[in-house]
Amino acid sequence: MSMGSMMSGTDINQEGGLTQLTDKNVPEVKPTEVVQLKNGDTFNLTASIVKQEVGNRTIKRLAYNGQIPGPVIKVEKGAKVTVNFTNNLDMETALHSHGLRGQSKFDGAAPLTQDPIPVGGTFTYELEFPDTGVFWYHPHVREDYQQELGLYGNFIVDELGYWSEVDQEQYLIVDDVLENGDFSKEVVTNTLMGRFGDTLLINDSDNFTLKVKQGEITRLFLTNVANTRTFDLSFSGAKTKVVGGDNGRIEKEVMINDVVMAPSERYVLEVLYPQAGTYTITHRGKKMGTVIVEPSGTDRAAAFETLRDNSADYASLRGNIQSLLARVPDKKLRLDISMKGQMEKMMKDMESGEGMSMSMNMGGDDEAMRAHCQMMPNMAGCEKYLDAPESDTRAEEDDGIEWEEGDMAMMNSMSTDENIEWFIEDEATKKRNGDIDWSFNKGDLVKISIKNDENGLHPMQHPIHFHGQRFVVLTREGVANENLQWKDTVLIPRGQTVDILVEMSNPGEWMAHCHIAEHLESGMMFDFTVTE
């Protein structure tokens, strides 16, 4: 791995400081292995502390089996495997198998489905894989810290003849990390917007290189494990199409120019490079990796440009689609924020401009003025304190997604789970987060309308994830979805309303939550029950 001067980890038990490891007994991080498991197999997985050379420092990372990303675990659809998990971290943890529709007692959603696993403790997970697709595993204890430092890995579930024939498969996990980012064991930080990183990574590298051959077809399994960042990925020089995502094939394959991925979302793409050469993988123009296309006599363009129709996967839904679209939602949710104390006052002052005008009228010193202007650079009077005031990212994009912290970086750095509460509200009962008490029967098809309220103090996008079930997006802003996809996470930009249809297939107790890690840790989750 080559990260330049990046410092990507901190000691959660040592507030305010990055951890430089000097213990020679801590092992080095290892490259990712691909492991093929068969039905009935047992696999040992250990979470532990590793070290990594970054610039002239040796820093602390967290890893599964010493690897970042953790092992790519490949299984056949319908298989059942046993994972013997050991916690060799310096804090409690649990293993969540994201997207799997297995038994809730093995979901790893501590403290709902199990007690957190103590330091030195073990837990045996019996995992089932009823769906073909790309899934992943990560902690569900202080996700904002443990996942950020390297605890993530892929499950790839396959079945014979499910996907088109390709020449190779690659597994790409996209992430970002914050240079000089520290953590606290007492509170969760960066809860206003989540922890945006300033170094972009593919498979834990800021210098990722992929080698393919001209004219051949490569299938890419993509996973976004970032705490907060929504990625907008482009593959220069390539023809690109979407063939699937979270929980299997898309209804109709489609050619694309780029793919937008929220935290925890997965996409399955196929790419073909018509010409040899060197190309880039970018996020909104920022280089994330290099693709070296070697000359070849192969030309599979005709096969690539054939778009498969997987409508049979969704025939039962399409047969009732008009009644589903016309049906009144069974549940309605609203997404918003609640601020406490001084944070609420500061945000209201900033929104109104009163905080700035008051400070200026009181003749605040230059440093105080400069701090104000860093938070709100477009405010009148800031010209003398900033060389080039930046524009408001939210207004600039007008797509409901915060691509960067922008003007709010300072406010975000001051926010914690003590002064910020993000919430999911049941519009019928007005219950929020943990007070929501939904119950369904196995086999129910539940229509849920989710509104991301744009009238709060700081609305932003939310990737909403349902554990243990799968769903399709029916409508977005009232417009019917013409290309269905079984998913477990949906991105809802600010101001938008999305209707989803959840197939309640799995009995047990389950979580639903925002997958921005800092939003989850500051309250944005609830439990629901599915009974036989």
Q: What are phi and psi of 494, to 5 degrees?
A: -60, 140
DSSP, residue by residue, 418-435? TTEEEEEEETTT--BGGG
Task: Give the residue from 81, 19, 4 showing the smallest Cα distance to 49.
Answer: 19
Residues 411-433 have pLDDT tens digits of 898 999 999 999 999 999 999 99
Beta strands per DSSP E along 100-237 = 122-128, 133-139, 153-158, 168-177, 199-202, 208-213, 217-224, 231-235
* CATH 3.90.1720.10 fits domain 322-337+419-531: no
Q: For the chain, where do the domains classified as CATH 2.60.40.420 start and end?
A: 322-337+419-531
Residues 132-156 have pLDDT tens digits of 999 999 999 999 999 999 999 999 9
DSSP, residue by residue, 105-123? GGS--TTTSSPPBPTT-EE
Q: Give the per-residue pLDDT at 407.
A: 82
User: In what helix (H) or strand (E) does residue 91 lie, and over which residues does it extend?
Assistant: none
Residues 299-332 have pLDDT tens digits of 999 999 999 999 999 999 999 999 999 999 999 9
Q: Give the per-residue pLDDT at 327.
A: 97
pTM of the model: 0.90
User: Cα separation of 305 and 411, whole Å?
Assistant: 48
Q: How many CA atoms lie within 13 A of 292 on its CB side?
A: 6
Q: 311: which 2 tokens?
A: 């409508």
Q: Give the per-residue pLDDT at 1.
A: 41
Q: Give the per-residue pLDDT at 394.
A: 40
Q: 60 falls in which pLDDT band (50, 70, 90)? A: confident
> Helices in 14-167 by DSSP H: which ranges?
143-146
**What residue type is 120 in one-letter code?**
G
User: In what helix (H) or strand (E) does residue 354 lie, and over which residues does it extend?
Assistant: helix 354-361
Residues 456-508 have pLDDT tens digits of 989 999 999 999 999 999 999 999 999 999 999 999 999 999 999 999 999 99
Q: Is the pLDDT confidence value at 298 over 50?
A: yes
For residues 189-204, one letter each, b for 16 or more C-beta atoms within 10 angstroms of the residue's C-beta and e for the rest, the string is bbbbbbbbbebbbbbb
Q: Is the pLDDT confidence value at 51 over 50?
A: yes
The gap from C-alpha 293 to its chain's centroid, in whole angstroms, comes to: 29
**What residue type is 343 in one-letter code?**
M
User: Cα separation of 62 and 52, whole Å?
Assistant: 10
Cis peptide before 274 (omega within 30 of 0): no
User: Cα separation of 60 and 183, whole Å?
Assistant: 13
Cis peptide before 31 (omega within 30 of 0): no
- Cα angle 464, 467, 472; round to 5: 60
